[in-house]
């Protein structure tokens, strides 16, 4: 099911070329031009007023002089982030402009000419697209749906034996919403250790679990780990564009220096509001809000999908406002998504964007009334294409 994308990635080559990030182009072009956006994978965003209210702060908090801030993030913000990772310090943290810059910076640090990389699939396709653009050799290892979207560790080991020097992971996963179990995590760490490989773990959905404890970080499990995250998904604050990389202190100067070529510095006002959000008491309030939205809306989505008889096959997500589902209609996923967009004013992510036709990634973090109407429109569209 992934093979078309994987074989395209595996060609590699030395020529630097632009590989379009298809999903982001789709969302960026249309998400503000539709009435119902089920392409978003985070919860309905907080307003500034709501954030300050959760923190019991006044609007005076926003009286910030709009100069350049500390370009690797303020000391206070890096300390708050470090507190989320056992054994980390502010010297282990680089603050970036969003999770996208965090991922790009970490990729750039680990990428070398002729690099060979083991890539978890399906996945958020930013770094795989960059790897293809820069001519890396890609060794896919797949999540197996029948095993609860856990990775094929034999495939990973083969990729490492064949020369992969770092392992790309998203945990909790996008698009499936699955969390790696203890066996998968320990297996990945053991293989990285055996082959001297780095682990690059995108953990942007950490904190958006539907039940149970927060997903353990890969940080601290291995001495060659870079972890990325942001305030976009679990926190409902994507507009702040605050992300971060956590890594060995001796690497942080080089990582920081790379942002001199990109955004230079996070926005000063965003740094202040990020500190508000990550204050421990406020953080817990934000994550409680996120869990409430996820729990209520997944129940609504699951009830609707189960009532569609045999139209869908899906595994409920462990984390994130995303449900990855296979549908039984014969229509191509991109064609179906385009029909929803043009005829129903509704945006979803087609499985084609992950190299998997006949799947859809459905975001369910929007207000419940909007979600219900969007699902009604989707059902009627399926009825039409199946006639």
What are 28-54's pLDDT values in tens digits?
999 999 999 999 999 999 999 999 999
Rounded to an integer, what distance in angstroms lies between the CA atom of residue 210 and that of residue 295? Answer: 6
Q: Is 47 exposed, middle or buried (0-12, 13-18, 19+ CB in 10 A)?
A: exposed
pLDDT of residue 143: 98
CA angle 386, 328, 315 (to 5 degrees): 140
pLDDT in tens, 10-26: 444 457 889 899 999 99
pLDDT of residue 221: 97
pLDDT of residue 14: 56
Q: How many CA atoms lie within 13 A of 32 on its CB side?
A: 4
- Give the least confident one: 110-119, 240-249, 264-273, 361-370: 110-119
Rounded to an integer, what distance in angstroms lies between the CA atom of residue 273 and that of residue 52? Answer: 9
Other Cβ atoms less than 10 A from the Cβ of 382: the count is 20
Is the separation of the CB atoms in 317 and 212 below 8 Å? no
In order of their start, the domains of the chain are 11-46+283-386 (3.90.1150.10), 63-279 (3.40.640.10)
pLDDT of residue 96: 98
Residue 346 has pLDDT above 90, yes or no: yes
pLDDT of residue 109: 96
pLDDT in tens, 118-168: 999 999 999 999 999 999 999 999 999 999 999 999 999 999 999 999 999
- Read off the pLDDT of each residue in 96-115 and give the average, rounded to a whole number: 95
Chain centroid to Cα 5, Å, comes to: 19
- Read off the pLDDT of each residue in 185-202 and give the average, rounded to a whole number: 98
Left, alpha or beta for 241 (phi > 0: left; psi -120 to 50: alpha)? left
Is the separation of the CB atoms in 38 and 377 below 8 Å? no
Residue 288 has pLDDT above 70, yes or no: yes
- 229 forms beta bridges with 244
- Give the least confident one: 37-51, 275-289, 373-387: 373-387
* E strand intervals along the chain: 36-37, 93-97, 116-121, 137-144, 150-151, 166-170, 198-202, 225-230, 242-246, 312-314, 322-327, 346-347, 349-350, 359-363
> Could you tell me which residues come within 8 angstroms of residue 293 by beta carbon, excluding any fewer than 6 positions away?
43, 44, 321, 365
Q: How many Å is the maximal CA-CA distance in the chain? A: 61
| pTM of the predicted model as reported, rounded to 2 decimal places | 0.94
pLDDT of residue 172: 98
pLDDT in tens, 197-219: 999 999 999 999 999 999 999 99
Rounded to an integer, what distance in angstroms lies between the CA atom of residue 13 and that of residue 146? Answer: 34
């Amino acid at each position: 099911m992934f093979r078309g994308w994987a074989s395209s990635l595996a060609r590699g080559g030395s020529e630097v070329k632009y590989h379009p990030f298809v999903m982001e182009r789709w969302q960026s072009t249309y998400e503000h031009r539709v009435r119902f956006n089920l392409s978003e994978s985070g919860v309905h965003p907080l307003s500034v007023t709501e954030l300050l209210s959760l923190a019991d702060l006044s609007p005076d908090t926003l009286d910030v002089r709009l100069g350049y801030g500390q370009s690797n993030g303020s000391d206070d913000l890096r300390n708050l982030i470090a507190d989320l990772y056992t054994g980390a310090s502010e010297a282990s943290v680089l603050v970036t402009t969003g999770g996208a810059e965090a991922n790009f910076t970490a990729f750039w640090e680990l990428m070398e000419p002729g690099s060979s990389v083991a890539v978890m699939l399906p996945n958020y396709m930013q770094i795989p697209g960059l790897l293809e653009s820069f001519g890396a050799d890609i060794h896919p290892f797949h999540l197996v749906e029948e095993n609860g979207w856990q990775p094929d560790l034999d495939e990973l080991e083969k990729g490492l034996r064949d020369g992969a020097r770092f392992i790309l992971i998203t945990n909790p996963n996008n698009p499936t919403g699955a969390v790696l179990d203890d066996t998968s995590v320990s297996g990945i760490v053991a293989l990285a250790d055996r082959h001297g490989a780095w682990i690059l773990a995108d953990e942007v959905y950490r904190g958006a679990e539907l039940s149970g404890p927060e997903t353990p970080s890969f940080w601290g499990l291995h001495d060659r780990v870079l972890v990325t995250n942001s305030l976009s998904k679990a926190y409902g604050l994507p507009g702040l564009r605050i992300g971060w990389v956590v890594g060995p202190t001796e690497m942080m100067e080089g990582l920081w220096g790379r942002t001199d070529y990109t955004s230079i510095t996070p926005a000063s006002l965003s740094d202040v509001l990020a500190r508000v959000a990550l204050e421990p008491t406020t953080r817990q309030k934000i994550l409680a809000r996120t869990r409430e939205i996820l729990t209520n809306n997944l129940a609504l989505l699951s009830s609707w999908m189960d009532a569609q008889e045999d139209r869908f096959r899906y595994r409920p997500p462990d984390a994130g406002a995303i449900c990855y589902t296979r549908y039984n209609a014969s229509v191509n996923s991109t064609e179906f998504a385009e029909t929803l967009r043009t005829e129903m004013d509704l945006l979803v992510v087609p499985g084609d964007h992950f190299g998997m036709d006949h799947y859809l990634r459905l975001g369910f973090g929007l207000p419940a009334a909007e979600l219900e109407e969007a699902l009604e429109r989707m059902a009627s569209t399926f009825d039409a294409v199946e006639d």
